[in-house]
């Protein structure tokens, strides 16, 4: 029994609790595409609220040669666009202001 064996050893307890946390709290990756001061502001706002389950990447519009999922994150015509991936499922990119985008992602 995995659970029983895990509880006998301290390191096993930590591993089981970590696995439970990852299962219950979805890991989130946010990719911001844009330019200049507006991109820096969005990145700052994303990192203002600490969340160990979230990674945020700010990629300038002129970045070329992106691989994998990053190649699918196209920059906005103007402003900043945010792509949010939760447990490898892509949420459609939001448009508009920071406030509207975060409401769509369940933040206020």
Q: Is 30 exposed, middle or buried (0-12, 13-18, 19+ CB in 10 A)?
A: buried
Structure tokens at 79: 């402003």
Residue 13 lies in a domain: no
100 domain-assigned: yes
Beta bridge partners of 78: none
Helices (H) and strands (E) in the chain, counts: 4, 4
Q: Mean per-residue pLDDT for 76-101?
A: 70
**Beta bridge partners of residue 89, listed in sequence order:** 86
Confidence of residue 57 (pLDDT cuts 50, 70, 90): very high
Q: What is the pLDDT of residue 108?
A: 46
* 12 pLDDT above the threshold of 70: yes
> Phi and psi at residue 92, in whole multiples of 5°?
-55, 145
Give pLDDT, residue 33: 93
Whether residue 8 lies inside any domain: the answer is no
> pTM score, two decimals?
0.63
**Residue 12 within any structural domain of the chain:** no
pLDDT, residue 43, reads 93
Confidence grade of residue 39 (pLDDT, cut at 50, 70, 90): very high
- Among 22-31, 32-41, 63-72, 92-101, name the one with the lowest average pLDDT: 92-101
Q: Whole domain around residue 32: which residue ranges?
A: 26-104
């Amino acid at each position: 029994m995995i659970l029983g064996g895990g509880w006998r050893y301290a390191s096993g307890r930590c591993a089981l609790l970590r696995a439970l946390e990852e299962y219950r709290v979805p890991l989130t990756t946010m990719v911001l595409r844009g330019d200049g001061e507006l991109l820096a502001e969005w990145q700052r706002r994303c990192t203002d609220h600490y969340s160990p389950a979230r990674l945020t990447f700010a990629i300038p519009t002129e970045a070329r040669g992106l691989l994998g999922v990053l190649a699918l994150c196209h920059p906005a015509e103007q402003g900043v666009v945010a792509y949010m991936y939760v447990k490898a499922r892509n949420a459609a990119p939001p448009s508009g202001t920071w406030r509207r985008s975060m409401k769509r992602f369940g933040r206020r």
